[in-house]
Amino acid sequence: MPRKLLNSELPRLTPQDFKEVEKAPLVLVLDNIRSRHNIGAAFRTADAFCIAKIYLCGICAIPPSAEIHKVALGAEDTVDWHYEQDVVTVVRALKQEGYTIVAVEQAENSTQLHEFKPERNKKYALIFGNEVKGVQQEVVDICDLVLEIPQWGTKHSLNVSVSIGVILWDIMEKLR
């Protein structure tokens, strides 16, 4: 029977090492995420996958926040982040920096996640939207691609923090 590892036995980067390690060619753009817990989960997941940066837009709360910290467990201090009121401004700037802009949304002609083949020499900006309204249509309109997580049950969506985890794991696995 396998023995569960203690936290002290897990190979972990120090916060300083995390700042200096090469990051995945991915950034997250959070479009009007209302829940501080979901924002904290985004930070924690971004840290787990060494994501380059998080852009918090619109109504997103920003660190420092006790509610973000409760879920992020300090990842809000390791993952680079920037706040910008207007998500379209962020998306246009990222396009100028050479990012492929990807909305994670349910849309006509979307690419199903299992069919998506990320390219190693590209940088991707992954946009996740509001818990109720999703990614704004004006943002979807300027994206290069819309990725959709296939679902087979009775619900129409996943929690945004779950979607972030699913998408990041899948892309990182494909890039490895």
Q: In this predicted structure, what is the pLDDT of residue 58?
A: 98
Other C-beta atoms lying within 10 Å of the C-beta of residue 114? 9
Q: In this predicted structure, what is the pLDDT of residue 43?
A: 98
Q: In this predicted structure, what is the pLDDT of residue 47?
A: 98
Question: Do 125 and 99 contact (CB within 8 A), yes or no?
Answer: yes
What is the full DSSP assignment across 26-37? EEEEEES---HH
Q: In this predicted structure, what is the pLDDT of residue 156?
A: 87
**Nearest partner of 27 among 100, 134, 130, judged by Cα:** 100
Domains, the chain: 20-175 (3.40.1280.10)
Which two three-digit tokens encode residue 167? 């998408």
Which of the residues in the chain have pLDDT under 50?
Answer: none
HSE (side-chain half, CA atoms, 13 Å) at 36: 12
pTM above 0.85? yes
